Amino acid sequence: EESKKIVLQEDPALPAAKKAKLSKLTDLRGSRVRVNGWVHRLRDQKGIIFIVLRDGTGYLQCILSGQVSQTYDALTLTLESSVELTGTLQPVPEGKTAPGGHELVVDFWKVLGAAPGAEDAFTNRLNEKSDASIQADLRHLVLRGETASAILKLRAALLSAFRQSYDANNLIEVTPPCLVQTQVEGGATLFALNYYGQPAFLTQSSQLYLETCLPSLGDVFCIQESFRAENSHTRRHLSEYTHLEAELAFINFDDLMTHIESIICETIDRLLENPTSAALIKQLNPNFTKPARPFTRLSYVDAIKWLNEHGIQHEAEDAEGNVIKDEAGNPKMVDHAVGDDIAEAAERRMTDILGTPVFLHGFPAELKAFYMKKIPNQGGDGPVFTESCDLLMPNVGEIVGGSMRIADMEELLAAYKREGIDPSPYYWFTDQRKYGTCEHGGYGLGVERLLAWLANRYTVRECSLYPRWPGRATP
């Protein structure tokens, strides 16, 4: 009853408060400040209310005592309510810790948007015990958590650092379209849509467009969403992912792998040199050490040998691609042979044993996309190999796929034919070989996969703002 009568008034005799974001408070210590945010943590200790405030830029411990903690709003305050707090910023007392090393002694405050309590309280809708499908439905609330928001902050820092590295290496950023009428990585994973009565797709890769930019802009890169209609419920597959792609002219295959390694290492160096992003990496992945250079390079043929030497087998398949089972119903396991795709499970075991980044290179043409350049002067009648590479990281597996591209027009026309692709919608891509062709190559990097490696996350789903996977496009 008493509390309902207490109406707080801001004391006009106090010095004017400076409005500030929580990450910008250090210089304001000792003065009166006004901050806005959400109640991240809340504790009442013998009439003194401790709030940890969150505003996206940081966290701040705030103390409400005396009259300030006895209003109706104070007694009914809930987690995730939005508030405005005004008071004096003080360094934390000797021997105590708080985010930023200071705390706010509140003299005036307001609730801006009260969050519900009781059964609709935030922690009733979402908590550590919520199962995965609830967490997916409540992704918008999960994002408010310390881990999810730290991952997104690191993601922003990563994209920014990549842009700086590309700038330092003279690659220009372009923004290719998402709506396309050509495939890059095979028809099986295309999302088709009706485009004013014409067939069109959501892009799988901007590679073909980047190739057309070389004679116009020189070396280029883009950061664009790619879409894959793969029915893969794995830790590393999304239906929509952020694809960082680059294309470089007048290079050879060795230059390409060296460039990929440099860009990744320079970008990691930038993140570690910046105290804010270095702290995020430390928080999410305390044991992170930057990879040693040069990265190991292992040819596809040597990788097949390596897998067999280490007893890493794969499931045998019949001619139709069905897994062959033994009498007990278990899949029949067999050694790898040259020509086999190295599947996710085998790849993961290999990277886990090696424990360092590895470039796998020289894949058989049959396993790869139509545009890849063949290794020159191959003899014999075994499989034809390509100047292609995948970069594998421990815990995640493939994070980059790249290759040199077919530069010769006749060879490209033959490649369309071999893959059963109608060349007519590709006229603009073919024209690159007609008007001043050049040796060139490029790659695509899955941003969520790199982030899963860097932040030591179990799945790429944690590394996307609103991840999409088969059956999931909400929120």
**Helix, strand, coil proportions of the chain in percent (round to 5)?**
35, 25, 40
Q: Counting contacts by CB under 6 A, is residue 444 touching ligand 4AD?
A: yes
Q: Which range of residues in 57-65, 78-86, 175-183, 230-238 is near ligand 4AD by CB under 6 A? A: 230-238
Decide: is 314 part of the binding site for ligand 4AD (CB under 6 A): no
| Angle, alpha carbons 214-217-222 (nearest 5°) | 80
> Using the rule CB under 6 A, is 464 a contact of ligand 4AD?
no
Closest CA to 259 of 166, 172, 173: 166
> Binding of ligand 4AD at residue 237 (CB under 6 A)?
yes
Segment contacting ligand 4AD by CB under 6 A, of 14-22, 146-154, 341-349, 395-403: 395-403
CB atoms within 10 A of CB 233: 9
CA neighbours closer than 13 Å in the CB half-sphere of residue 367:
21
Which region among 101-109, 233-241, 260-268, 427-435 touches ligand 4AD (by CB under 6 A)? Answer: 233-241
* Residues 421, 370: Cα–Cα separation, whole Å: 9
241 binding ligand 4AD? (CB under 6 A): yes
Q: Is the peptide bond before 357 cis (omega within 30 degrees of 0)?
A: no
Phi, then psi, of 195 in degrees rounded to 5 = -110, 95
Triad 32, 33, 34: Cα angle to 5°: 140
Q: Is 246 strand, coil or helix?
A: strand
CB closer to ligand 4AD out of 336 and 440: 440
Whole-number Å distance between alpha carbons of 231 and 426: 27
Nearest distance, CB of residue 322 and ligand 4AD, angstroms? 23
Which C-beta is closer to ligand 4AD: that of 109 or that of 162? Answer: 162
For tokens 């508030």, the residue is 83
CB 430 within 8 A of CB 409: yes
Contact code string over 168-207 relative to ligand 4AD, x by CB under 6 A: ----------------xx-------------------x-x
Stretch that binds ligand 4AD, among 110-118, 152-160, 417-425, 439-447 (CB under 6 A): 439-447
Q: Which of 81, 398, 426, 457 binds ligand 4AD (CB under 6 A)?
A: 398
Among the listed residues 361, 449, 457, 461, the single contact to ligand 4AD using CB under 6 A: 449
Which residues bind to ligand 4AD, rule: CB under 6 A? 184-185, 205, 207, 228, 230, 237-238, 241, 243, 245, 398-402, 442-446, 448-449, 460
